[in-house]
């Protein structure tokens, strides 16, 4: 699991870790492709942590 921070800003939510910043994938379809690099995040129902799929 990759540790970092989730930040909210005007146009959505951003994941930040070790100098990297990526917007979380919240849009669908064409909007998703237009806004560049995005990642998916999941929240664990049991421990309430946000899990990031990161390669």
Q: How confident is the model at residue 26 (pLDDT cuts 50, 70, 90)?
A: low
Per the structure, the complete domain to which residue 36 belongs is given by 5-52
Pairing of strands 20-24, 12-17: antiparallel
| Neighbouring C-beta atoms of residue 33, cutoff 10 Å | 9
Position 30 pLDDT exceeds 70: no
Q: What confidence score (pLDDT) does residue 42 get?
A: 75
1-5 average pLDDT score: 68
Give the chain's domain count.
Answer: 1
């Amino acid at each position: 699991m990759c540790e970092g921070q989730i930040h909210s800003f005007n146009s959505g939510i951003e994941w930040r870790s070790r100098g990297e910043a990526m917007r979380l994938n919240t849009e669908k379809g064409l909007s998703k492709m237009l806004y560049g690099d995005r990642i998916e995040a999941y929240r664990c129902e049991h421990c309430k942590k946000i899990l990031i799929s990161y390669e």
